[in-house]
Structure 1
Amino acid sequence: MIKMIQFGHVRVMGGVVAMAAAMVLAACSSGPVKMKPAELAPVANRASAQLIWSTQMGLSSPSMAPLAHQGRVYLTGSKGTVAAVDATSGRDVWRLNLGTSLSTGAGSDGQTTAVVTQGNQLIAMADGRESWRVQLSAASFTAPLVAGRRVFVLAADRSVIAFDAQNGARLWTQARPGEPLVLRQSGVLLAVGDTLVAGLSGRLVGLNPLNGTLRWEASIANSRGTNEVERLVDLVGSVSRIGNSVCARSFNSAVGCVDTDTGRLLWSKPAQGVTGVHGDEQYVFGSETDGRLMAWQRAKGDRAWEVDRLKFRELTAPLALGRLLVVGDGTGLVHLLSREDGSELTRLTTDGSPILAAPVLSGPALVVQTLNGGVYAWRSQ
C-alpha cells in the first residue's frame, strides 16, 4: 500500500489522515513546529510594479500552479474550474467547470489542455470544451504535460503514462516502483528536446516519449535514514532548465543539476527544502524549509549567497526574472528581491491568503495564485 505525506503551505502537516476513496494514509513527519514568521522591515521601494489584472478561480491547492504558455495563463480551482486567460488583458479566452474536484493544475500545448481529478480521472479539453476523460489507476498531483500530440501523466505510484491527445488512447506505461511513501505535491515532468524528463524517487530519468523506454537516469539524492519519512527523496517541482541543464530539488535532502543530453549528474549539494527551484545561466535559487533563500552557482553548485530575512514565512519556490528574484509567502505577500544578493527591492500584496505555488511569467505579466483562488498579475516597471 502506498502512503502519501502531504506538505501544504505550512510545509509540514501533522497528523494521520485517512483518504477513504483511495485507502491511503497521509502520515505526519518529524518536521519542526511552526515558527513565528520573521518581522518585515518597511518596504524598500527600490523597484515598482503595476497591477494590470486580477481574477478569481475559487479555492486552490499547492499543486495548482498557474501555467504560462504562448501569451496565455492556464488556471485551475480545486472545485473543478479550468480557465485560459489572456496574459495581457486578464480576459478569459475560455472557462469551463468540469463538475468534479481537481487534484492538479493544468497542462497545455495551446490546443489540448489536461487536468487530473481527485477521482483519478484524466480530462482533456480543447477550445474550452471537454474532449475525453480516462480513468487512471493511481492518483496524480503533478500537472499533466501536453507535448508532441501526447498527454503525459506522472502518477503517485511512480509510473509515467502516455496518452494520445486526440482520443485518450493509452500509448505506453513506464512503471518504476520505489519506496512506499510518496509526496502529495507536484513532482517533475517536462520535455527537453526529444526527451521526456521525469522525477522518480530521487532520480531524474530521461524517457523516449514515443515508447517510454529509458534513455538515462541520474540520481540527485539517495535514500537515507532509519524510517520511511527520512528515506523519502522524491523530486519536487518546479525545476530550472537552461538549455540541456536541468536543476531540481530532492525533498528535504539535496539540490542538483543534470546534463539531459548525457544523463550525467553535474553536481548535487545537501539542502533542506521542500519546494522547487528556479534559476538562470549563473545561479540556481531555492527556499529552505526554515525560509532561508539560497543561491547556488549553476556551474558547480558552490554557494553564492543566502539570506534569512524571510525566515519562517512559508516561502514558495522562487522565480528568476531578469535582475529580479520573485517569491511568494504564507501571508499572501510577493517579495521582489535582487538576484545578485537577495536584498529586498519591493513587496506586493494580494488577498492575504497564502501563495502556494511559484510565481510564473506570461508575456508582460508576473502572475501568482493564492489559496483563496485570487489570481494577480503585475507588470514590473
Structure 2
Amino acid sequence: MSHKQGIAGARLLPLIASLLIGAVLAGCAAGSSRPTPAELPPNVALVGVRQAWSAKMPAVGFPLQVSVQGGQIVAAGGDGTVLTLDAASGREVSRAAVGEPLAAGVGSDGRVSAVITRTNQVVALEGGRELWRRKLNSQSFTAPLVAGGRVFVLGSDRSLTALDGRNGAVIWNITRPAEPLVLRQAGVLLAVGDTLVAGLAGRMVGVDPDTGVVRWEAPVAAARGTNDVERLVDLVSGVSRQGTEICARAFQTAVGCVDAANGSVRWSKPANGSTGLAGDGEVLFGSEADGKVMSWRAASGERGWVNEALQWRVLTAPLALGRSVIVGDSTGLVHMLSRENGSPLNRLTTDSSGVAATPVAAGNTLVVVTRSGGVYGFVPD
C-alpha cells in the first residue's frame, strides 16, 4: 500500500471500525461505538466438556491462524514466538523465535512452518531452527500455505507468490491491480487436489501450483457501492470444504460455494459478515457483522436457523465439531451451539482478553488461543 493510500485508509477507518470483526485496515481505531451485548443467561452444560490443560505464549496482536498437524497445533505470539504443542497434553514440542513482530501466520505442513513479519519477511522454520527468510514486495495478513515442498503467499495487494520450500527462492508470482483499501485480516488460501485456490478480491481463483497459470476464476461477489469502503469484497479466511466444493464469505457482501474442480459457482447469496464459514457438507455456519450466528443449506444457500443471543460480542469464525458449532468472543468466552437449531449447548471460559483466532480441533482436543497469549485445551468430559 502506498503512503497516500495508507493515509486514506486511516481517515476512512472510523466509518467501518464498528463493523469489522478482525483487525482491519492499518491504523485500526480503538473505541468504536458498538451496542452493548445483552447479558447471557446462566450456563447450562448440555454437552460435557472440561479444560484439560493450558499453556502460555506472548500476546497475539495480529490475525493469527492456528495450524493443526495431526495431533499437534502450531500457534504464534505477536513478538515472533512460534510454538508447537501436543494437543492431547499441552506439552511443548518446539519453540522458535523469529526475532521480530508478526503480521501473519502460522502455515505448516507438519515439518516446516512459515510466518510473515511486519517488515514483510517470509520466515520458514523447522522445529526451533530458522531455515530461510525472504523479503516480499507487499504486506500479507494471511498465513502462508506450506505444501508440496513450497511456500505460497497471498499478498494484501492481491498478489500470489510461490517460494521454494528449501531456500525461499521465488518460483512464480501473480499480480492483480491493487485497490485503494485492503483488509488487514487473513484471506483464502488452500490446496484442493492439484489446484492452489486463493481469494483475489471477490473471486475464488484456481491456480496451477507448479507454473502459476490460472486455471479458472469464480466470482463469489462483485464490488458494489460508490466509495472504496463499500467496494471491499475480499474473500476472508475460514472456508467450508467438502471434496472439491469450497464455500467462502466475501467481506460484508455474500457467501457462496464454488466447485474447485472446474471453477463453477454453485450459488452466491447476500450476507453481511466479515469472518469465515464452517460446514459439514450439508449445512454452513457463520456469523454476521452484528454477531447473529446463522446457518445456510450447503446445496442451495437457503437460510436456516438464526441465533441472536450473541449479538455485538465480536465473534470469531466458527468451528463445526460433531453436534456443535463453536465460536469465541471478545470477552474470552467460547460458545458451543447446536448444529441443528443454534441453541446453546455449553459455554467455556478462558481469560478475559478475548479469543484471538478461530478455535481448532486436534484429535480429541478443542484448542482456543486468546489475545493475551493463553492457549487452552478442552476435551469431552
SS in 1 for 2:134: strand
SS in 2 for 1:93: strand
More divergent stretch after superposition (4-13 vs 286-295): 4-13
Q: CA deviation at 1:37?
A: 0.9
Give the Cα separation in 2 of the matches to 1:334 and 1:39. 15
Q: Does 1:97 align with 2:97?
A: yes
Give the Cα separation in 1 of the matches to 2:218 and 2:62. 26
User: Which residue of the partner structure matches residue 288 of structure 2?
Assistant: 288
SS in 1 for 2:231: coil
Give the Cα separation in 2 of the matches to 1:309 and 1:93. 39
Bigger share in helix? 2
Give the Cα separation in 2 of the matches to 1:40 and 1:233. 33
User: Which residue of the partner structure matches residue 255 of structure 1?
Assistant: 255
Q: CA deviation at 1:12?
A: 3.4
User: Which residue of the partner structure matches residue 136 of structure 1?
Assistant: 136
The within-5 A match list for 1:302-321 is 302-321=302-321
Given that 1:11 and 1:314 are in contact with CA atoms closer than 8 Å, whether structure 2 keeps it comes out as no
Given that 2:18 and 2:33 are in contact with CA atoms closer than 8 Å, whether structure 1 keeps it comes out as no
Q: CA deviation at 1:127?
A: 2.4
User: Which residue of the partner structure matches residue 347 of structure 1?
Assistant: 347
Give the Cα separation in 1 of the matches to 2:106 and 2:46. 34
Q: CA deviation at 1:357?
A: 1.8
The within-5 A match list for 1:71-110 is 71-110=71-110
Given that 1:240 and 1:248 are in contact with CA atoms closer than 8 Å, whether structure 2 keeps it comes out as yes
Q: CA deviation at 1:11?
A: 4.8
Give the Cα separation in 2 of the matches to 1:9 and 1:232. 14
Give the Cα separation in 1 of the matches to 2:126 and 2:315. 34
TM-score (norm 1): 0.93
User: Which residue of the partner structure matches residue 145 of structure 1?
Assistant: 145
Where does the alignment leave 5 or more consecutive residues of structure 2 unmatched?
Answer: none
Q: Does 1:196 align with 2:196?
A: yes
Give the Cα separation in 2 of the matches to 1:221 and 1:157. 18
User: Which residue of the partner structure matches residue 240 of structure 2?
Assistant: 240
The within-5 A match list for 1:145-224 is 145-224=145-224
The within-5 A match list for 1:334-373 is 334-373=334-373
Q: Does 1:12 align with 2:20?
A: yes
Give the Cα separation in 1 of the matches to 2:356 and 2:93. 24
Give the Cα separation in 2 of the matches to 1:235 and 1:224. 15
| Superimposed CA distance per residue, residues 3-24 of structure 1 (whole angstroms, 9 cap, x where no aligned partner) | 45779996539xx98xxxxxxx
Q: CA deviation at 1:156?
A: 1.0
Letter in 1 for 2:318: P
| Superimposed CA distance per residue, residues 99-150 of structure 1 (whole angstroms, 9 cap, x where no aligned partner) | 1101112101011110000010000011220000011111110000000000
Letter in 2 for 1:114: A
User: Which residue of the partner structure matches residue 21 of structure 1?
Assistant: none
| Superimposed CA distance per residue, residues 220-273 of structure 1 (whole angstroms, 9 cap, x where no aligned partner) | 110000100001100101111111110110000101110000100101111110
Give the Cα separation in 2 of the matches to 1:344 and 1:236. 26
Give the Cα separation in 2 of the matches to 1:211 and 1:139. 23
SS in 2 for 1:106: strand
Return closer, same or farther for 1:316/1:9 CA change in 2, 3 Å cut-off: farther
Given that 1:9 and 1:314 are in contact with CA atoms closer than 8 Å, whether structure 2 keeps it comes out as no
Letter in 1 for 2:20: V
Q: CA deviation at 1:26?
A: 4.2
User: Which residue of the partner structure matches residue 375 of structure 2?
Assistant: 375
TM-score (norm 2): 0.93
Where does the alignment leave 5 or more consecutive residues of structure 1 unmatched?
Answer: 18-24
How many residues in Structure 1 have an aligned counterpart in Structure 2?
371
Aligned-residue CA RMSD (Å): 2.1
Letter in 1 for 2:111: Q
Given that 2:153 and 2:161 are in contact with CA atoms closer than 8 Å, whether structure 1 keeps it comes out as yes
| Superimposed CA distance per residue, residues 160-204 of structure 1 (whole angstroms, 9 cap, x where no aligned partner) | 000010111110001122422110000000000000000000010
Letter in 2 for 1:187: G
User: Which residue of the partner structure matches residue 278 of structure 1?
Assistant: 278
Give the Cα separation in 2 of the matches to 1:52 and 1:242. 30
SS in 2 for 1:183: coil
Give the Cα separation in 2 of the matches to 1:11 and 1:82. 30
Given that 1:284 and 1:297 are in contact with CA atoms closer than 8 Å, whether structure 2 keeps it comes out as yes
Q: Does 1:327 align with 2:327?
A: yes
